[in-house]
Amino acid sequence: MEFDVQPPLICSETTVNAIRSRVRIISVILREYTWLIDAYVSNFFVDDLWAKLPTSWQKAFYLMSTTEMADFLDPHVLSPRRVLPLSLLSYRTCMQNLALSRQCLNPDNLELFSFSDEHVPFCSDGRKSVSDHRKSNSHNCTNAFDEIKNGQYTPLESIFRKHVKPKKQHEILNLGKVVHMLCRSSGCEHVVDVGAGQGHLSRLLTFKYGVRVTTVEASGSHAPAAEKFDREAKKAIHKSKSKDKELMAPVSIQTNEIPDSCLPNHITCTIFPGMNSEEFLQVVKNKCKIPEREATLRSSVVEQFDNHQKMIFDRHNRQNCCLLADWMVKTDEVEPKHLKENTSQQNTSNISETNESMDSCLLMGLHACGDLTPTMLRVFTKSKFRALASVSCCYMKMTCSKEDIQSDTPGYPMSQYSLGLTNHSLNYEAREMACHSADVYIQRLRDNEAKLKLHCYRAALQVIINRVVPNFEKGCMKLDFKHAAKMTFEEYVGKCFKKLGVESSIPDELLQEAKSLLHLWKNVVAFYVMRLCLAPVVEALILLDRMLFLFENGIPGALVPIFDPVLSPRNFVLLAMKR
């Protein structure tokens, strides 16, 4: 069965059955390939994993170069360079059809389109066909690596790049655009950023888009740093403007109009799995004050956006185009509550005084780890938060219903539909594999990097470990090092044993036995490629289950890839807005 996986993928009344069908088929396929999911490449030799592949597959991979393996893994390569066994081609096609398209959409173009349930984009100049949309690359991100100069992601204004690495710079720029778009569509004036770290995204939302932000972060050291960086940013922007210097792109807020009380509010609090909406809201209500900004200030921000072509589209396009799906409304149709009121005095009443304030709040998380994302989704469905923007990561840290019987709020499955499927659980190996990046590995295969042979180093090392340290627990310690690709096998083994704290000497015969396996490095790489084909399928299952969970709670959602998947592999944002 072939699915239309062109992004964005929307879960609504007319698409939900197709999504359920895909979830069911993925569950069946993953059950069929449990032996491959559970096979750690480090056990390639000790478990004779190569012998588990069909003989015809072994012969096909034996003839492949690493570049051909990259083509096999790459969904954008329609047909391999050589004739492959039909069963192997079927495996490849099946996995690619079930995975979600990871090609990054340009956030600047999302506002030009509305995707109906059939994923047909609308533009102000009329309707385009699905095929026209697929043929056009104008709505996709450019290669993010091409935009990195001297260790900086140059599309992001310099003021927001301080203290931030290029990967994070790319992420906060793109997610910031999407969150701003969602705020305008939903009428949200306040964002609650969960797992915000040092507040880099909240800083951008505040100074560039005029959004009020509250961050929630478990680490106590992050809040003081975030507050310090906020003040630095405000001072730098004010200094630049006072000297009449232009930033790389204009900043939307006049900092001399905003007191420190309107800077992001940083809360230190641990959000634990199973925390209900009341407990979560109590944290925000007790520690967060949401000042309503004066209408004149907000009008000034909107006016500056209207005058800056790079930040928004012209007014004609804004009035004639819709946003993502029928669950997102036109920007001009939604007017924030406090703009309708002629308030000239700032209101700093605590949010706990009225829960109605939550109607204009958006819940957000950038790479919220493990169970944090599922907890956010449950809070969103049970509270008055108006909109959601969630990017998840670290699936292996989630709880799963059959592994943790004590948990009645597992990270997977979340939806009742997935819960009703036979063998619906995902084990640790599957969830860990979902975090692996096929996009990054494709590039590594094409570059034929020396580090490809490290898979074989690790597998040969396991032969030694099984004999010398038989009680070694798999996965208890990562045995990787910087510059390991430049080491000899003997140096690599010595460093690993030192890390393990093992002082036992390695018999020379055993070392030579392991070393004699190194010429089979391409077999190890090929097996890893086969396993990696399943990684985006497992991730698709987790993400689709979350969409179904929202839908079962009466909230349509959309999955949109907004980051370059090579630079930021967890590149899907789950968007939702309550009707």
Placement of tokens 């690359």 in the chain:
137
What's residue 150's pLDDT? 93
C-beta atoms surrounding 443 within 10 Å: 14
Range in 107-111, 276-280, 310-314, 540-544 the model is least confident about: 310-314
Range in 163-172, 285-294, 384-393 the model is least confident about: 285-294
- With a cut of 60, say whether residue 302 has pLDDT above it: no
- With a cut of 50, say whether residue 305 has pLDDT above it: no
What's residue 479's pLDDT? 82
Give mean pLDDT, residues 80-94: 94
Pull the structure tokens for residue 337: 């509550």
If pLDDT is split at 50, 70 and 90, which confidence band does 320 have? Answer: very low
For the entire predicted model, the pTM comes to: 0.83
Placement of tokens 């989704």 in the chain:
377
- With a cut of 50, say whether residue 127 has pLDDT above it: no
Name which residue leads in pLDDT, 84 or 291. 84
What's residue 332's pLDDT? 33
What's residue 18's pLDDT? 95
Nearest to 273 by CA among 367, 399, 364: 399
Question: 3-class DSSP state for residue 373?
Answer: helix
H/E element, 392: strand 387-393
pLDDT tens-place string over residues 521-533: 999 999 999 999 9
Instruction: Say how far apart CA 444 and CA 450 lie, in whole Å.
Output: 9
- With a cut of 80, say whether residue 542 has pLDDT above it: yes
Range in 77-81, 175-179, 525-529 the model is least confident about: 77-81
Range in 127-141, 185-199, 385-399, 431-445 the model is least confident about: 127-141
Half-sphere exposure of 408 (CA within 13 A, CB side): 2
- With a cut of 70, say whether residue 142 has pLDDT above it: yes
Give mean pLDDT, residues 160-164: 94
The C-alpha R_g of the chain, in whole angstroms, comes to: 25
Three-state SS letters, 284-343: HHHHCECCECCHHHHHHHHHHHHCCCCCCCCHHHHHHCCCCCCCCCCHHHCCCHHHHCCC
C-beta atoms surrounding 146 within 10 Å: 9
Mean pLDDT, the chain, rounded, equals 80
Are 39 and 531 in contact, with CB atoms under 8 Å apart? yes
Q: Which amino acid, 279?
A: E
DSSP characters over 160-186: GTTT--HHHHHHHHHHHHHHHHHHHHH
What's residue 483's pLDDT? 87
Which residues share a beta bridge with 48? none
Cβ-proximal residues to 561 (8 Å cutoff; 6+ apart), any chain: 7, 100, 101, 102, 103, 104, 105, 571, 572, 573
Is residue 413 reached through a cis peptide bond, with omega within 30 degrees of 0 on the bond before it?
Answer: yes
Question: 3-class DSSP state for residue 262?
Answer: helix
Instruction: Say how far apart CA 221 and CA 218 lie, in whole Å.
Output: 9
Q: Which amino acid, 97?
A: N
Question: 3-class DSSP state for residue 368?
Answer: strand
What's residue 341's pLDDT? 34
Pull the structure tokens for residue 102: 């990871």
What's residue 326's pLDDT? 34
For residue 319, what are the CA distances in angstroms to 53, 276, 282, 322, 578? Answer: 57, 39, 38, 8, 22
Cβ-proximal residues to 498 (8 Å cutoff; 6+ apart), any chain: none
Are 76 and 438 in contact, with CB atoms under 8 Å apart? no
Name which residue leads in pLDDT, 410 or 23. 23
Are 371 and 167 in contact, with CB atoms under 8 Å apart? no
pLDDT tens-place string over residues 473-487: 776 677 888 888 889
What's residue 294's pLDDT? 35
Give mean pLDDT, residues 490-508: 89
Pull the structure tokens for residue 410: 């597992």
What's residue 403's pLDDT? 59
Name which residue leads in pLDDT, 351 or 16. 16
If pLDDT is split at 50, 70 and 90, which confidence band does 543 have? Answer: very high
If pLDDT is split at 50, 70 and 90, which confidence band does 277 have? Answer: confident
If pLDDT is split at 50, 70 and 90, which confidence band does 360 have? Answer: confident
What's residue 289's pLDDT? 52
- With a cut of 70, say whether residue 20 has pLDDT above it: yes
Nearest to 371 by CA among 397, 389, 391, 390: 397
If pLDDT is split at 50, 70 and 90, which confidence band does 255 have? Answer: very low
Q: Give 78's DSSP letter.
A: -
What's residue 480's pLDDT? 81
Instruction: Say how far apart CA 237 and CA 25 lie, in whole Å.
Output: 53
What's residue 81's pLDDT? 85
pLDDT tens-place string over residues 194-231: 999 999 999 999 999 989 999 999 888 888 999 999 99
- With a cut of 80, say whether residue 464 has pLDDT above it: yes
What's residue 237's pLDDT? 83
Residues in the chain: 579
- With a cut of 50, say whether residue 123 has pLDDT above it: no
Q: Give 405's DSSP letter.
A: T
Cβ burial of 250 (10 Å; 0-12, 13-18, 19+) is: middle
Is residue 8 reached through a cis peptide bond, with omega within 30 degrees of 0 on the bond before it?
Answer: yes
What's residue 286's pLDDT? 67
Instruction: Say how far apart CA 389 and CA 366 lie, in whole Å.
Output: 8
If pLDDT is split at 50, 70 and 90, which confidence band does 132 have? Answer: very low
What's residue 314's pLDDT? 34
Share of the chain above pLDDT 90, in %: 58
Range in 16-25, 126-135, 226-235 the model is least confident about: 126-135
- With a cut of 90, say whether residue 65 has pLDDT above it: yes
